[in-house]
Structure 1
């Protein structure tokens, strides 16, 4: 059985998540001649609106990592440790839909063997 519509949607969202975050990350890197993490984090708190979004994302990341760990164990998904690395190394906008895509694949595989 091939990919489902939901798998395609998650894949497109994951690719979009990389594109829309790294477009700005690359601009930041070009402006600062590298990726000074302390400056990056300081800029997240440059005003109340940015702070709100930054803290919102921190809560989403925490919830995603707790849930995805439990869900990966429940479904017997291997290599869960990759998702925190993708979350902090690329973006939650990529890691979460990528996890959902892999979860859909795993659930389809389990259904096919049942």
Structure 2
């Protein structure tokens, strides 16, 4: 389920990025109008919260390659990074559970 969401988010965000870059946008394009401002602030706040969660939880679980998820959050999209992180977290917890039993 997480993988399907990550793939869909990757395809959707990258197609939108190609459209945006083909139009030579300015930063103000992200914040022109109240709806764009709301969405921009909401997504930045969500990316920040997801990053904090990934760092805290990743360190607690000693996840390998933790920094990759943080880079993906801001270089690609939080909607791609968080599901990938959750896959790694789930696999790590499952491996730890089988080790202890």
TM-score over 0.5 for the pair: yes
Correspondence 1:83-102 to 2 at 5 A: 83-102=69-88
Q: Structure 1, residues 71-90: CA drift from partner, whole Å, max 9, x if none?
A: 00111102211112101111
Give the paired residue count: 100
Gaps (5+ residues) in structure 2? none
Runs of 4+ with deviation above 4 angstroms: none
Residue equivalent to 1:109: 95
Cα RMSD of the aligned pairs, angstroms, is 1.2
Gaps (5+ residues) in structure 1? 1-8
Q: Structure 1, residues 14-71: CA drift from partner, whole Å, max 9, x if none?
A: 0011011111101112222xxx6xx2x3211011001101101111111111111010
Q: Structure 2 residue aligned with 1:26, among 18, 32, 36?
A: 18
